[in-house]
Structure 1
Amino acid sequence: MSPTAQTTASTRRVVFPFTAIVGQEEMKLALLLNVIDPKIGGVMIMGDRGTGKSTTIRALADLLPEIPVVANDPFNSDPSDPDIMSDEVRALLEQGTEIPVVQKKVIMVDLPLGATEDRVCGTIDIEKALSEGVKAFEPGLLAKANRGILYVDEVNLLDDHLVDVLLDSAASGWNTVEREGISIRHPARFVLVGSGNPEEGELRPQLLDRFGMHAEIHTVKEPALRVEIVEQRAEFDQNPLEFVDKNQTNQEALQEKIVNAQKLLPSVKIDYDLRVKISEVCSQLDVDGLRGDIVTNRAAKAIAAFEGRTEVTIDDIRRVITLCLRHRLRKDPLESIDSGYKVEKTFSRVFGVEVAEDTTQANGSQKSGVRS
């Protein structure tokens, strides 16, 4: 690790600020909730081309506070949490060795579309292992993404087998590489974000179900809003540092809100009756398995923590349930994903709440305090 671990904004590549992104509230809310609780299981973002998917995800990674990591460790091991440290670091700690620690920005790893399994998972050098008797492991992208964000653009065009590998690692938090009887595993806990254009085909329902949330984004139709987005972008391109400085206060406020939410999350409770009703919604929608129930509970707790509360409300559930369930309703691979109407209708029936016709997930997320 270079001595400039605490890189200043002036030397780091300038990224468009998250709080300056106009609209796309559904996507922003889903990403923030996954950062607060990575166990939600990632986000699949489907939408038109040129709607700011990549910009938003890079902005999120840049927004997050620095984290303590073990110096010179290829897995970004946490110096205090055994669940997210490599076996080597754990062994050193058990021996009482002092571990050098540095602060590092949360990393965002971009997975290229043509990536091979070796590039993603890492490789074992068998010759070195046999001749020198050491486990010679060349880490892959999953190692680099540990404790960060792994972004897969056009995930619907990625080989199904690779998507499976990514989802397995995201769910278990570990990556295991085996070759010729030699096995190596390392922590791989990351927020998995996939994006794609529905025109190019959907993921198979089995794979889609394993993403915690599904956010839909559309091209902004309102002319005044389109002009605002274009002007924001032009202002940023003209003088990036000045634009970032202008948004610094909002960025710091949101960063603090995320950190506080992460600390508060373990204290958040969800009433038994509300949990039963969430499961009733899943049952009535004929959602396969229990992932829908689990993710909705987690997301509702995360949004309550984000707003500084320790009790989940019906409104919290309303604001996340479509994101958590809409992609789990599709049984036929040729069927298109429900926009959320079925979920909202069932939710209002089970919870006995009137959902106004003009109430959309986007409006709900605006209430969440995510500044557009």
Structure 2
Amino acid sequence: MPLLPLLPVMASTFSPTSAARALLPGSTSRPLFLAASASSGNRHLTFPSPYSLCFPARSSASAESNTPPYRPPGTLAGRIQPSRKGLDFRRGRFTVCNVAAPTAAEQEATASAAKETQRPVYPFAAIVGQDEMKLCLLLNVIDPKIGGVMIMGDRGTGKSTTVRSLVDLLPDIRVVVGDPFNSDPDDPEVMGPEVRQRVLQGDTGLPVTTAKITMVDLPLGATEDRVCGTIDIEKALTEGVKAFEPGLLAKANRGILYVDEVNLLDDHLVDVLLDSAASGWNTVEREGISISHPARFILIGSGNPEEGELRPQLLDRFGMHAQVGTVRDAELRVKIVEERARFDRDPKTFRESYHDEQEKLQQQISSARSNLGAVQIDHDLRVKISKVCSELNVDGLRGDIVTNRAAKALAALKGRDSVTVEDIATVIPNCLRHRLRKDPLESIDSGLLVIEKFYEVFS
């Protein structure tokens, strides 16, 4: 099979983008060769990629006729073989066909293999102490509309370990198969753009499955494109469509977005989180293309107050605030060290020893989520909650809303259908302490101020 010089493109890596760039003026590098087939009459460009490009071969008759010969980039006059999908240029058309798309079975097998090989997670039921932090996390799993948790405390107090151990307790949700936004097939507010369009067109055959709520880690060094998503220039060139490559906010939709050391996060990423947390949507403006998708997530952050304060705008977006202190009891500290040593020695056996307790917590969370809508709170209790917020000079109404939601979630967790005063007393310090105005001369903890005002109003 003879080799014919085609177009000068990058010789090290071959992709539809590089092939498309070869059709445009300005491509420079070493030549790529095209294999011509005499039997089919077409030249097939083959390279290690899930795509293939097909060009019509020039016949010998055309070479002898008055048809202009094949010319280099910038003077392309030939017609490239069209297909169902193509991008029209003034001087030609090309198409890229996906010939190696993974099937649903292959995707499921890949996910199963990744789950088996992932790093073992410390069981949530094995966390010793830190009841305030654990309660705030459980309440947000029961009712995601509470708005997330901000966990501040000393170094080495198990903040990150506790948050990541929450993965095993997350319940299943219904999602559309193959959708990168974890779209809810029943709620248009959390549907991706493609699923929403299919629903509006009357498509009732959406493939639906159940999946665990996802937890996404946001690293401090992430770029804005990785967080928000970007336009896939490769598909834009090859298929002529607005191809969006989802980022971490898309993956976290209907899930949990965890930011460790959130007080060290760059300001431009803080602005992105503020925008998404406020509207529940993420809008990407790239290359003259605008794409919006839902980004409703539970925002969980952790940090050490000695390393810096959090911006007030972002702090207000957290529904609850948990303070974590170092355990002072010597016996309890020894127990924590021994449990951690057992886990490091044999993670699988350690996790199996807490299997029953984990199952019990999962059932308790699932039951609380299903019964949350039936929980009621008396009007008098709502008035007193708002009075506490008013007398503490809490800005806005988020404190009132979050306290009501958290009290209902706690009642559901305890298996009751009505909120008591004890439920409110348990959650109100976590809902209001970070919303009080900071007084540099005040020596008392803000949580104690909330408790004092609570007993003053509710007594």
Sort the TM-score into its range (normalised by shorter chain).
0.7 to 0.9
- Kindly report structure 1 stretches of 4+ aligned residues shifted beyond 3 Å: 4-13, 125-133, 331-339
Amino acid across the alignment from 2:332: L
Of 240, 246, 261, 2:368 maps to 261
Q: Secondary structure at the match of 1:216?
A: strand
Distance 1:238 1:130, change over 3 A: closer
Pair 1:236-2:343 in alignment: yes
Q: Cα deviations across residues 50-70 of structure 1 (Å, max 9, x unaligned)?
A: 111111111102221333322
Distance 1:306 1:167, change over 3 A: farther
- TM-score w.r.t. the length of structure 1 is 0.88
| Residue matched to 1:148 | 255
Q: Distance in 2 between matches of 1:123 and 1:301?
A: 39
Of 194, 197, 206, 1:99 maps to 206
Pairwise CA distance, 1:350 = 0.3
Amino acid across the alignment from 1:27: M
Pairwise CA distance, 1:172 = 2.9
Pairwise CA distance, 1:12 = 4.9
| Residue matched to 2:108 | 3
Of 10, 26, 34, 2:140 maps to 34
Structure number with greater Rg is 2
Pair 1:54-2:153 in alignment: no
Q: Distance in 1 between matches of 2:408 and 2:427?
A: 10
Q: Cα deviations across residues 159-196 of structure 1 (Å, max 9, x unaligned)?
A: 23322321332343221112355221112121110111
Q: Within 5 A, what are the aligned runs for 1:1-372?
A: 2-4=107-109, 12-93=118-199, 94-96=201-203, 98-125=205-232, 129=236, 132-331=239-438, 338-352=445-459
Q: Distance in 2 between matches of 1:102 and 1:8?
A: 19
Pairwise CA distance, 1:313 = 0.7
Distance 1:333 1:104, change over 3 A: farther
Q: CA contact under 8 A between 2:276 and 2:295: conserved in structure 1?
A: yes
Q: Secondary structure at the match of 1:264?
A: helix
Q: Say how many residue pairs are matched.
A: 352
Q: CA contact under 8 A between 1:204 and 1:333: conserved in structure 2?
A: no
Identify, as 1 or 2, the structure richer in strand.
2
When structure 1 is superposed on structure 2, of 220-229 and 180-189 the one drifting more is: 180-189
Q: Distance in 2 between matches of 1:152 and 1:333?
A: 27
Amino acid across the alignment from 1:244: R
Amino acid across the alignment from 1:84: V
Q: Secondary structure at the match of 1:152?
A: strand
- TM-score w.r.t. the length of structure 2 is 0.72
Using the aligned pairs only, state the percent identity.
Answer: 72
Q: Distance in 2 between matches of 1:298 and 1:234?
A: 38
Amino acid across the alignment from 1:39: K
Q: CA contact under 8 A between 1:170 and 1:189: conserved in structure 2?
A: yes
| Structure 2 gap ranges (5+) | 1-103
Amino acid across the alignment from 1:262: R
Distance 1:158 1:12, change over 3 A: closer
Pairwise CA distance, 1:95 = 3.7
Identify, as 1 or 2, the structure richer in helix.
1
| Structure 1 gap ranges (5+) | 353-372
Q: Distance in 1 between matches of 2:120 and 2:270?
A: 30
Higher relative contact order structure (alpha carbons within 8 Å, sequence separation ≥ 6):
1
Q: Distance in 1 between matches of 2:112 and 2:186?
A: 20
| Residue matched to 1:360 | none
